[in-house]
Amino acid sequence: MAENQLNPNSWVDNYADYLFNYAIGKVSDVETAKDLVSETFLAGLKSAKNFKGEAAERTWLIAILKRKVIDYYRKSNSKKGKAEVRMSSNSYAEDQGDWLEEKVADPYGNLGSDSIENEELGLALQVCIDKLPRKQSQVFTMKTIQGISTEEICNELDINPSNLWVMVHRARTALMECLNKNWFNS
């Protein structure tokens, strides 16, 4: 299979358990987690034509699931949902640092006003990325947005993994500060 192709026939076998474990950790309800995984697979099928192959299939599916979890909490409008969104956008931990993907709209799961808001957020984010030092911006974009592996980035930019993660962390911190100043508080 070519690197930039999806194989939906193998998703359930290859990724269902992984996606379910992620979802159950976020929603703490078995049936809801199962529903979110199903919705993820459906959204993946609907948007397969948009898959560019810049990220691994699993990475792409988990990004969709993250948006589904956020949508779930938005719809439930619970205190926990608001806390989950806030926690995701304020977390600097490496394993929870994918807040960027959580802020991008799922074209199949949001209301019309969300797409306008997400477009504005995307523009604000790009302005903040453009303010980063060149190499930091490049590393952040390659790792977080494009989903390129650490090894590939290190080889291409001639840096070591420690440097990469320091740059990603600094970029995330700077972007969160920039977005807090220019987006969340505006």
What residues does each domain of the chain span?
1-95, 111-186
| Per-residue buried b or exposed e for 125-136, using 16+ beta carbons within 10 Å of the residue's own CB | beebbeebeeeb
From the candidate CATH numbers 1.20.120.50, 2.70.98.10, 1.10.260.40, 1.10.10.10, the one assigned to the domain spanning 111-186 = 1.10.10.10
Q: Is-same-fold flag (1-95; 111-186)?
A: no
Residue 104 has pLDDT above 50, yes or no: no
Regarding predicted confidence, which is higher, 186 or 53? Answer: 53
pTM: 0.44
Scanning the structure block, which residue is given the tokens 């030092």? 133
Domain 1-95 sits in CATH at 1.10.1740
Digit-coded pLDDT (tens) for 31-41: 999 999 999 99
| The pLDDT of residue 35 | 93
pLDDT at 165 over 50: yes
Task: Please give the Cα distance from 31 to 114 (Å, whole number).
Answer: 26
Percentage of the residues of the chain whose pLDDT score is greater than 90: 16
DSSP labels for 102-132?
HTS--TTTS-HHHHHHHHHHHHHHHHHHHHS
Provide the H-helix boundaries in 6-145: 11-27, 30-46, 57-76, 79-90, 99-102, 112-131, 134-140
Q: What percent of the chain has pLDDT over 70?
A: 71
> How far apart are the C-alpha atoms of 109 and 42, rounded to whole Å?
11
